[in-house]
């Protein structure tokens, strides 16, 4: 049953295995599902994973790229302003 999917490794010496860690110890001896790295029991089944173009993991709001970039620009502007104020204070101290 499982041997129909056996594919040999590049050198042909040993077939690929799922390799998932088992609770009893050791690794799963089943071959991986077609086009996958794990067997059907350990995540290689068809239909596993989110649908294409799923928006469930999309970042928005405070953690979006646009918001992060805006915060970085604002922080850089604030640092530049503070540096200008420090330079101005140093210039005032030299004049005294």
In a domain, 53, yes or no: no
Residues 25 and 65 in one domain: no
Into how many domains does the chain fold? 2
* DSSP three-state, residue 49: coil
Please give the residue range of the domain that contains residue 3.
1-47
CB 31 within 8 A of CB 18: yes
Query: What pTM was estimated for this model as a whole?
Result: 0.44
Q: Are the C-beta atoms of residues 66 and 73 closer than 8 Å to each other?
A: no
Q: Does 54 fall in a domain?
A: no
List, for residues 23-72, the tens digit of each pLDDT value. Answer: 999 999 999 888 888 888 888 777 767 777 888 877 788 999 999 999 99
Residues 1 and 40 in one domain: yes
């Amino acid at each position: 049953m499982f041997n129909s999917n056996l594919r040999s490794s590049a050198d042909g010496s040993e077939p690929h295995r799922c390799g998932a860690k088992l609770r009893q110890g050791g690794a799963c001896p089943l071959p991986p599902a077609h086009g996958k790295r794990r067997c059907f029991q350990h995540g290689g089944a068809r239909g596993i994973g989110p649908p294409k173009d799923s928006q469930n993991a999309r970042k928005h709001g405070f953690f979006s790229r646009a918001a992060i970039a805006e915060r970085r620009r604002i922080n850089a502007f604030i640092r530049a302003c503070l540096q200008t104020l420090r330079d101005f204070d140093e210039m005032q101290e030299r004049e005294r």
